[in-house]
Amino acid sequence: MTNEITQEDIKKRIEQIVLSMARDPNNTKLYHELAEYYAAANDFDKVISVYESLLAINPQDDTALINLGSIWFYEEEYKKALKCYNEAMVVNPKNYLVYYNLANTYAEMKNFSKALHWYNRTLDFNSKNPEVYNAIALLYHDFDDYVEARAYYEKALSIDPENLTALVDMGNVCFKLYDYGQALEYYYRVFNLVPDNRTVALCIANTHALTQEEDKSFEFFEKSLSLGRGEENYKTYICYAIAKSDFGYNEEAVELYKKAMELCPNEPNAYILLGNLYSNMKDFTNAEEQYKKALTLSKLDPSLYVLVANT
């Protein structure tokens, strides 16, 4: 199916397949094709219905089981996903995707031991796929074991030195391990490969700010802003403001927080941080005003009442 296909084309093709299925109701290839077109139309309820009908005809169709499991996975119906994957494993125990999807599901369920078990089982069948090592690294990362995460990202990069997922996440792991020099090395590798990556530009800016490289930091904040559009720049303005205040440019920081507020007036973070900045500047009247604005957006946060009380 090409990317250029229109919704009208999809609708016509669905009608054609349904007619063909009426003439040949046991043709499982037609069910797979119909499911694909419903997926292209983002009608996942019908995708589920098609796969269930297919499995009623052929319960041994492991592709249908895996695809149906994946839909349940993205619907966060993890028990249903596991049921499909386990049935697919019985049908085809040599299909590495079964084990990979089982591992991903247990990872989402925060079951570290089972997730790691199935990722290792995946490697028994497919040890040259960098994405499997990335997934294991992410599992360790999510459980705050950054040293192990780093080792698995290194393995992914030994297979594919330009793997963007591994490069970005390796930079993030090094950042969390306070190895800012290595973090920058990985971020720059990504930026050289994909110079329009706004998020990596922001990572570079934040890291340079921490290493007290003012000019480089501001340069990449500006790059990140130039690559973003609208609300995408909310976080960049906030990070830029924090860096400006850290380098002593408080008035410029105030203006950056205000720009963030203009983009996302219903988000409390910029108001809170601007309140903190005003408080540090001994401007308690403006600090109280910002905290009160934040309270109107986040009334259930007790820490905000403490901030107001202390100004």
Domain of residue 201, CATH code: 1.25.40.10
Model pLDDT, residue 303 = 57
pLDDT (average), residues 61-89: 97
Average pLDDT, the chain: 93
- Chain length of the chain: 311
Model pLDDT, residue 177 = 94
Any domain includes 47:
no
Model pLDDT, residue 57 = 95
pTM exceeds cut of 0.85:
no
Select from 241, 251, 257, 307 the least CA-distant residue to 279.
Answer: 307
**Residue 276 pLDDT more than 70?**
yes
Q: Among 263, 283, 301, which residue terminates a domain?
A: 263
Structural domain including 206 reads 197-263
Model pLDDT, residue 297 = 86
Any domain includes 154:
no
**Residue 305 pLDDT more than 50?**
no
Considering the chain, what percentage of its residues have pLDDT values greater than 90?
92
Asked whether residue 244 falls in the same domain as residue 203, the answer is yes
Any domain includes 11:
no
Any domain includes 34:
no
Any domain includes 102:
no
pLDDT in tens, 182-219: 999 999 999 999 999 999 999 999 999 999 999 999 99
pLDDT in tens, 150-189: 999 999 999 999 999 999 999 999 999 999 999 999 999 9
Query: How many independent structural domains does the chain possess?
Result: 2
Any domain includes 113:
no
Model pLDDT, residue 299 = 57
Any domain includes 107:
no
pLDDT (average), residues 129-141: 97
Model pLDDT, residue 304 = 45
Model pLDDT, residue 166 = 97
Asked whether residue 302 falls in the same domain as residue 250, the answer is no
Asked whether residue 293 falls in the same domain as residue 304, the answer is yes
Comparing 8-12, 62-66, 123-127, the range with the smallest average pLDDT is: 8-12
Any domain includes 235:
yes
pLDDT (average), residues 40-56: 94
Asked whether residue 218 falls in the same domain as residue 259, the answer is yes
Model pLDDT, residue 301 = 59
Q: Show the tokens assigned to 149.
A: 């995460």
**Residue 10 pLDDT more than 50?**
yes
Model pLDDT, residue 5 = 78
